[in-house]
Structure 1
Amino acid sequence: MRKSYRVKTENDFQRVFKSGNSVANRAFVIYKIAKPENTHFRVGISVGKKVGHTAVVRNRLKRYIRAVLTENKPAIDTQIDFLVIARPFVRNFRMAEVRKNLLHALFLANIIEEIPEKVEED
């Protein structure tokens, strides 16, 4: 995922935290804020040390999250900034489990219109 699709600065993260609304499931918390001037969505990903004590575990989960977002890019609302925060529940998830739970959280947050059928079969 290109850097232009990422929420990068601390000010941007704080604006989404303070002004945005949140939705959660057991695995992820999603904060989102409307940005009508955006030409594409921007996402920030946070995987804390409670999820994995080593950088290897945290970076693997971030790669999984970015892969799910990239493969579902056409379905994601273009005029928002959102944050994906992983909860400790996802520590030992495989890619299919991350995909299923993340798409469910995005659906709850109204970021995607529907959950793709291939995910429900996993």
Structure 2
Amino acid sequence: MLRRQYRLKSSAQIRDVRHTGQSWRSPMLVLVKRSNDLPTSRFAFSVSRRIGNAVVRNRIKRWLREAIRSRLSTIHSGWDVLVIARSAIRGAQHPQIDRAVADLLRSAHLQSGSLGASQSSEENETRSPLSCERSHGLQANA
């Protein structure tokens, strides 16, 4: 469980992040971030009923919380973050969800230098969405 200081508590806070934040997408997750003026980052998780029954939804939320909790020391402070599960998360196991969270945190520039436990630096270089965008941009200019 995330400590209280790391949680977005009210539906109004979550709604504000969703409507005014920047978003990043992966097949399994959407990450929405908005800056705050606090010394910590705060998180909320949303798993729709379309994903599955209560047991499935709660398991996914536990895995998402754990993926964030295990990386708190490397996550930049001063952000409100909403993590939304997409339908592709159905059937995914904990390591896959953990990797998806790590990839989104890096894509959104929320994680500092230290990599998450699930990837080496070589894997990070080959899978980084930013490097794909850069190489795609170079091809378009050539």
Report deviation, 1:2: 1.1
Cα deviation, 1:55-75, whole Å, max 9, x if unaligned, reads: 000000000011111111111
Report deviation, 1:76: 0.6
Give distance in 1, aligned partners of 2:114 and 2:94.
16
* Match of residue 40 from structure 1: 40
Cα deviation, 1:77-121, whole Å, max 9, x if unaligned, reads: 111001000111111111111111111111111111357264126
Q: 1:2 to 1:102 in 2, by over 3 A?
A: same
Give SS of 2:82's match: strand
* Match of residue 28 from structure 1: 29
Amino acid at match of 1:113: S
Amino acid at match of 2:16: R
Cα deviation, 1:19-49, whole Å, max 9, x if unaligned, reads: 11111111110110011x2111100100111
In 1, are the aligned partners of 2:49 and 2:57 still within 8 Å (CA)? yes
Q: 1:63 to 1:117 in 2, by over 3 A?
A: closer
Give distance in 1, aligned partners of 2:64 and 2:78.
20
Give distance in 2, aligned partners of 1:92 and 1:114.
31
Where do 1:21-100 residues align within 5 Å?
A: 21-35=22-36, 37-52=37-52, 54-100=53-99
If each structure's helix is expressed as a fraction of its own residues, which one has the higher value? 2
TM-score when normalising by structure 2: 0.78
Q: Which runs of 5 or more residues in structure 2 are unaligned?
A: 121-142
In 2, are the aligned partners of 1:107 and 1:114 still within 8 Å (CA)? no
After TM superposition, where is structure 1 displaced by more than 4 Å over at least 4 residues in a row? none
* Match of residue 140 from structure 2: none
TM-score when normalising by structure 1: 0.90
Amino acid at match of 2:17: V
* Match of residue 6 from structure 2: 5
Give distance in 1, aligned partners of 2:26 and 2:89.
11
Give SS of 1:119's match: coil
Task: Compute the RMSD of aligned alpha carbons.
Answer: 1.5
